[in-house]
Amino acid sequence: MPIVSKRSSRPSALTQLKIKTNAVNRLVKDKQVYVDEIEAQKVRIEEFRMRNAHEADIRKQNEVLEETVLMIPHMERRIRDAAQDLENLVLASAAEIDDLDVLDDARKALAATRASDDESAAEDKAA
């Protein structure tokens, strides 16, 4: 007689919620790393200019800056998609999840994505 697992192959709503919450939190942190790198790269370029570095070196540093800047919209899109998945899961499974801490963590992660969106909008207006 074959052994049948009593566990479903589909992860529980609680497990999915934890995974999606952690994914959203990680993406928000990753975006912040890119934002910090942009600022550091601008300082680095200015330092190159101040010490009269070779023009090719300055140009290369500007290319690095441009590549980093291009990652921001990509990260925002990934955050938006992950947040939408998380929000859909929270709405669909809130009734069956009895771990209020996990639900609270998910809601905090969603709030962090909104704060990240607000910061991006403010930066776009300032630019």
Q: What is the spatial distance between Cα 11 and Cα 115, in angstroms, rounded to a whole number? A: 30
CATH number, domain at 101? 1.20.58.90
13 falls within a domain: no
2 falls within a domain: no
Residue 43, CA atoms < 13 Å, CB-side half-sphere: 6
- Chain segment 21-52, per-residue pLDDT in tens: 999 999 999 999 999 999 999 999 999 999 99
1 falls within a domain: no
Residue 121: pLDDT band by 50, 70, 90 thresholds? low
Domain total in the chain: 1
Q: What is the spatial distance between Cα 54 and Cα 58, in angstroms, rounded to a whole number? A: 7
- Could you say which DSSP state residue 11 is in? P
127 falls within a domain: no
Radius of gyration of the chain (CA): 21
84 falls within a domain: yes
- Chain segment 42-95, per-residue pLDDT in tens: 999 999 999 999 999 999 999 999 999 999 999 999 999 999 999 999 998 878
Burial class for 80, CB neighbours closer than 10 Å (0-12, 13-18, 19+) = middle
Structural domain of residue 111, as residue ranges? 19-122
